[in-house]
Structure formats: C-alpha cells, structure tokens
Amino acid sequence: MSEELSYVLVTPYSIRKSRTGAILSRLISRTALELVAARIFAPSKALVEAFTDTLVTSDSPSHRGVQELLKDYVLTNFSPNADYHPRVLMLVFKGDNAVEKIRGAVGHILHDDPVGHTIRETFGDYITDKGGSVTYFEPAALAPRDAETAKHDLLLWAQYSDKDGGIMESAVHFAPSENVEKTLVLIKPDNFREPSTRPGGVMDVFSRSGLYIVGFKVHRMSVAQAEQFYGPVLEVLQEKLKEPVGNQAAKALEAEFGLPISAETRAKLGEVLGPINGRENWEQIVKFMAGRKPSDCPQELRNSPGTEKCIALVYQGADAVRKTREVLGPTDPSKAPPGSIRREFGKTIMINAAHASDSAENAAREMAIIGVSENNFKSLVEDWFSH
C-alpha cells in the first residue's frame, strides 16, 4: 500500500439539493481517508471539454456506453450557459489506496439493487425504459477510475483552479430586492478528531438555512491567524471574568484563612485576576483552533499552518448572517435549542462544533484573516505530483 491522492466531484445537482454534507459524511466515515483540500468551481467550457476528453476509454461496448453517458452528462450539466453557471465541488482525499477506497464509497453507475451502501445507490439515479434506453441519469458524484486518471484530472482542475475556482459569488443570481450577504462558517477542529460523519452532519444542518455554498476551503489556522481572528474576544473575556474570578478567589481565601472578604476586596481581586484568567481562556481558544498557545509558540512558527484542521465555508444569500446564526445556536451548547448545530454537536462553550460570523463586516474581516479565497488546492496537487 502507498499513499495516494484521489478526488470526488460533487455534481451541481447534488449541491443544489443540499446533499453535499451527506456525501462528505459518507466519504470520511467509510474510507477513513484524510480530507486535505477542497475548492468550489464554476467550470468554464474549456475546462469541461478538457475534462470530458479523457472520459471515454473502454473498448467494451457496455462500459463504453456508460462512459459516453457520463461524458454527455458532464458536458450538459457542468457547462455554463447564458442563464446558469453550475457550481461543482472538488474534494481531495489522501491516504493508502485512496483511489480504490473512493471508488468503493461512490459506487458504480449501474446498481441493480440500490440498498444505499454507496453514494450513488443513495443519491444517484439510473432509470431506463422497457427497451433499455436511459430516461434519467444523475451520478451524484464523480471519482477517478484509477491512479493515473486521478493524477491527470487533479492536475487539469488545478490548472484551471485560479480562473474557474474560488469564491463563486457570481454563479448564483438573486432578485435586486434581496438583502444578499456573504458570511463565513467554520466547521471546527473537534469534528475532525477521528473519521466520522460529524463534518458532513454539521453541513447538513446549515443546509436548512436555504443559503448557497459559494466557497469551500480546508484550512489549518496558524497561531498568528487565530490570534487575529479571536482578537476581539480577548478584551471581552478579560472584562467578563472579573466578577466571577474575584468571587471565586474570595471564596477560596475565606475557606483557606477563615477571613471575611469584603465586596471591595472581591472587586480588587477581580481587577487583578480577571484579565489573567481571561487571557488564559483566550489562549486555550487559540490552542483549540491552531494547536498551540501563543505563549508557547516560537516566533518563527507563528505564521506556519497549525496542527488542527477546519473547513471554511462561504455562504451567500438573503440575510445570510442571521440565518446561519439561527441554525448555529448560542455559544453554550446547553442553552442551544433542539435541532441547532451546537445542541446536536457541541460539548462545551469552547468545543462547540462551528463558528458563524455575527455581522457582514466581521465576515469580511474573518475571511480576509484566514485567506478563504486562497488556492491551496492548486499548491497541494502540484506539489504532490512534482515529487
């Protein structure tokens, strides 16, 4: 066995039907492969034609017929037209036997007994009439047939990834009267501790917002990025914790020395200890997101990618900020309403599954900090196959 890169292309239909999260859940939990990169594309005609040029390879009439059906599907459903520019999601996975494992999870186009084991059995369709002619076809997701195909296709999509990929906000059309916003969602590192359905499950709940995914990035936040991202939280924590920390310290002193502590002394204890405790809590947040506390991070590593992984999603639509925040729920999972993300997936105030920007202005600030439009898909693919 050796490590390979493989990919899955989530079709425009699957994206429109909000099946992206469910497909991601299947891929991560059933293959145990590592999701290492992702990018939203609105493919140009040139990319679609270059991609389909290599889809038909078989000399077997039955296999060739299926390949030609797939080629026609991609040409029809991935290509832009005057009214519609389809969005396609490229997911890149790494691990032993990645190509074979991905193919097994995606499944065959032809499935006589669709019991739901594979992505195509669950979300795809292959319907024929009595004469055997195909009347409806939806493959749900595309995957390479072998390692050489994976290499060719990944390098091809990487070649077009600057021009045809990124934040595809112009691919979705809205009425002029709509209050269209872009907002940032982070699926946090606690969802990636082990291969599971959690990342896709969180995405599934966000799909209830009715918003459009126009950006998708796998990201490892550096300590410097986490400090900047959560910078506004530091002062809030230092102020907020003054009173409870002062009371806690006074209670401990009273128990230890048997001395009554006045309200004035409690306040002074809070003034001294609150900022210290607030900074420690803040440093733990940075560690949770980047893998290292700022006070423990050597200067030369502050801008290096951290050890913790998250998914950065850009959602677009009417009132996007409000809608994502409503689906997310309050910071404390114990106070979140049933069905919200933090109630379903959160554990504590810090380990609470996801982040959603609280204003359009903060969304813009946060997207800039983590470089959400950065093309790390291209660099990963080209570096991998250059060695």
Q: Which residues are catalytic?
A: 355
241: its two tokens: 């914790």
CA distance 229 to 307: 17
Among 11, 119, 18, 118, residue whose Cα is nearest residue 73:
11
User: CA dihedral defined by 9, 14, 19, 20, rounded to 10 degrees?
Assistant: 30
Can you tell me the distance from the alpha carbon of 38 to that of 92, in angstroms, rounded to the nearest whole number?
A: 6
CA distances from 64 to 138, 141, 206, 210 (A): 17, 19, 39, 39
Nearest-angstrom CA–CA distance, 272 and 250: 12
Q: Which two tokens stand for residue 124?
A: 């795809």
Would strands 180-187 and 310-318 be described as parallel, antiparallel, or unpaired? Answer: antiparallel
Which residue intervals of the chain are DSSP H helices? 12-16, 20-31, 45-52, 61-78, 98-106, 119-123, 147-164, 198-206, 223-229, 231-240, 242-257, 263-290, 320-328, 341-345, 360-370, 376-386
Query: Are the CB atoms for 376 and 37 separated by under 8 Å?
Result: yes
Alpha helices (runs of H) in 127-262, residue ranges in sequence order: 147-164, 198-206, 223-229, 231-240, 242-257
Residue 337, sorted as left (phi over 0), alpha (psi -120 to 50) or beta, turns out to be beta
CA distance 265 to 250: 8
Distance CA 362, CA 108 (A): 44
3-state secondary structure of 300: helix
* Alpha-carbon 182 to chain mean position: 15
Distance of CA 11 to the CA centre of its chain: 16
Q: How far is CA 65 from the centre of its chain?
A: 35
